Amino acid sequence: MNPLSVTDAVPNDLDNALLVGRVWLDGPHAGPALVSVHDGQVIDITDLGPTMADLLERDDLLEVVKRAEGKPLGSLETLLANSQASPAQAPYLLAPCDVQAVKACGVTFAVSLMERVIEEQAGATPPVLTNCVTTYRH
């Protein structure tokens, strides 16, 4: 498999795009960090919010990300290469979502959603799968 290039991974209008994401950082405070891309450089913007969910809920999101300053973590090319190394080398890219609800598309979503609502309303514990049969403990 050929490694993913920056042109494959980012929008064609990168110079006009406002990109945010998450990376893994090593060090004394190892863990996920929020980042944005400015002029091809990945910048740590974790000071804007502890999670991507918090960042995306800001009313001033566009303005704060455009003006955000933070520690440079390297070029987008470097982080993409770090992410594809085996094993990945920090800083490397993570999935952009963290604690947001992620909704799936498909025929089972509505049924699954209804089951979760019913469970919550009934105060039941989560289902236990036994031989592909769903049972509930009350």
Distance of CA 70 to the CA centre of its chain: 19
Q: Where exactly are the structural domains of the chain?
A: 6-94, 103-138
- pLDDT tens, per residue, the chain with 138 residues: 678 888 888 888 878 889 999 999 999 889 999 999 998 899 999 999 889 999 999 999 999 999 999 999 999 999 999 999 999 999 999 998 888 776 666 656 677 777 878 888 777 555 554 444 444 444
Q: Output the CA torsion sign for 62, 66, 68, 70.
A: positive
CA diameter of the chain: 56
Q: How far apart are CA 41 and CA 37, in angstroms?
A: 5
Instruction: Tell how strand 72-75 and strand 41-44 pair up.
Output: antiparallel
Rounded to two decimals, the pTM is 0.71
Do residues 28 and 36 lie in contact, with contact meaning Cβ atoms separated by under 8 Å? no
